[in-house]
C-alpha cells in the first residue's frame, strides 16, 4: 500500500499532514479548514490504481492502531467509527467507477 501513497499519489507527508489534520478536525469537531472533495480525490486515485478492499482494510487497521496508541476517550472512539464509515462509503462509491 505504501506504493499507492508514494509512487502513485506522490504524497509529500510534510505537505499532506496539515491537510489530514484539517480533514479530521472537520470530521470530528466541524472546525477544520478542509475544503477539498475527498471522494473526488480518491476517485482520481482509483483511476490510476484500483483501490482494493484490502487497501482499505490496511488503512483502517493502521488508522485504528495509531488512534489506540496515542489517544483515549470518546473522541478517539468517534474517530475510529468515522474512519470505518468513510472507508465503507468510499468502497461502495468506488465500485461504481
- Total domains in the fold of the chain: 1
What confidence tens digit (pLDDT) does each residue in 38-73 have?
Answer: 999 999 999 999 999 999 999 999 999 999 999 999
Percent of the chain with pLDDT over 90: 85
Judge whether residue 2 has pLDDT over 80: no
CB 67 within 8 A of CB 79: yes
pLDDT band at 97 (very low <50, low <70, confident <90, very high): low
The number of C-alpha atoms within 13 Å of 94 and in the hemisphere containing its C-beta is 24
Q: What is the domain extent for residue 22? A: 2-94
Amino acid at each position: 500500500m505504501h506504493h499507492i501513497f508514494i509512487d502513485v499519489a506522490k504524497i509529500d507527508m510534510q505537505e499532506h499532514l496539515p491537510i489530514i489534520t484539517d480533514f479530521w478536525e472537520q470530521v470530528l469537531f466541524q472546525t477544520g479548514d478542509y475544503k477539498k472533495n475527498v471522494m473526488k480525490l480518491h476517485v482520481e486515485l482509483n483511476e490510476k490504481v484500483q483501490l482494493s478492499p484490502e487497501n482499505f482494510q490496511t488503512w483502517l487497521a493502521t488508522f485504528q492502531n495509531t488512534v489506540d496508541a496515542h489517544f483515549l476517550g470518546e473522541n478517539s472512539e468517534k474517530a475510529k467509527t468515522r474512519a470505518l464509515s468513510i472507508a465503507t462509503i468510499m468502497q461502495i462509491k468506488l465500485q461504481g467507477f
